[in-house]
Copies of this chain bind each other. A is one copy, B any other.
Amino acid sequence: MHEGIDILVHEVGPRDGLQSIETVFPTEAKLDWIRAAAAAGVPQIQVGSFVRADLLPQMADSADVVRQSIDIPGLTVSALVPNLKGAQNAITAGAHQVGVVMSVSEAHNKSNVNRTVDESLEGFRQIVEYRNEADPDRKTVISGGLATSFGCTISGSVPVRDVMKRAEQLLELGADRLNVADTVGFANPKQVKDLFEELYRTVGKDVPVGAHFHDTRGMGLANAFAALEAGVRELDSCLGGLGGCPYAPGASGNVVTEDLVFMLEAMGLRTGIDLDALLEVRESMEKHLKGEPTQGTFVKAGPPLGFVPATAA
């Protein structure tokens, strides 16, 4: 955890946001966003995804973006990878953290990466092995991502015991941390609190665990609060809730970074982020969008009278 903050807000907009919209941001526009967000105090940013460029042209420059981001003072640079090749490229480019994706739902994993979950676990093993050889000091953190942990658009509900089983397997294979995702916006706050409490009972309180929520059914912040109640201290979010239409099934926006930061700061939890500066980053980022919508309430409502952010207190 970065010093002087209580909750780590992990900005995933340059990856999850940009990969879900039509507009392709030029590399320089991504870097402007990343530099400005870091200057506003954002401690960690997922800057890209190492997928095939023909499948996701928005992410084709990810290696370049990582290379140009890793020396920004105070910033942890993360990248998403679907397989060993992506992980090799991300680690070679110098990413501080590599997030490896896997769905707990067999049907979703098959549809997403055309593998069984066990095959994805074998891929994860190879990624850790590669990291341990290429990076003996293990400076690059490997995050094991558990997508569809709260439900699946193909198979409906996902058993909690499946999430626990995959979490344990990822840790046995060498994951440094876990990221538990409501990939398709199905979660409710009771489910979130129960699942994270069960997860901490299963893997112990010392494993760093992040949570990733979408706001599809208006419960993004409620789920974030529920995760905090269970002990989670790292939350993904996306500036402006970028990620396209919040109501198309499976394509809804992430929790809005500035709304999340406001909620945390209002609750007395330091994020290290300056909200005014963050709104300026949002404004700059929006200039590159070609009419695609952003979300958020804080940008419109502003802070309540007398608000003192925890970070400034």
Contact = CB atoms under 8 A, between A and B. Distances in A.
Interface of A: 151-157, 184-186, 188-191, 215-222, 224-226, 229, 246-247, 249, 252, 256, 259, 262-263, 266-268, 296-298, 300-301, 304-306
A189 B225 contact: yes
B267 A218 contact: no
B156 A305 contact: yes
Contact of A189 (B154, B267, B304): B267
B188 A263 contact: yes
Given A256-B218, A263-B222, A268 B301 contact: no
Contacts of A226: 225
Most buried by B among A154, A185, A247, A300: A300
Tell me if A's interface is mostly helix, strand, loop or mixed: loop
A183 to B, nearest CB: 12
A6 to B, nearest CB: 12
Contact of A297 (B191, B246, B305): B246
Nearest to A295: B218
A258 to B, nearest CB: 10
Contacts of A256: 218
Contacts of A222: 189, 219, 221-222, 224-225, 263
Contacts of A216: 297, 301
A50 B252 CA distance: 42
Contacts of A221: 189, 218-219, 221-222
Contact of A218 (B188, B191, B297): B297
A151 B303 CA distance: 12
Contacts of A152: 305
Contacts of A215: 297
Contact of A301 (B190, B217, B225): B217
Nearest to A151: B304
Contacts of A262: 217
Nearest to A308: B157
Contacts of A306: 151, 156-157
Given A185-B304, A217-B262, A218-B263, 20 more contacts: A151-B304, A152-B305, A156-B306, A184-B304, A185-B301, A186-B305, A189-B222, A189-B263, A190-B267, A191-B267, A216-B301, A217-B297, A218-B296, A218-B297, A221-B222, A222-B225, A225-B225, A225-B226, A247-B300, A249-B301
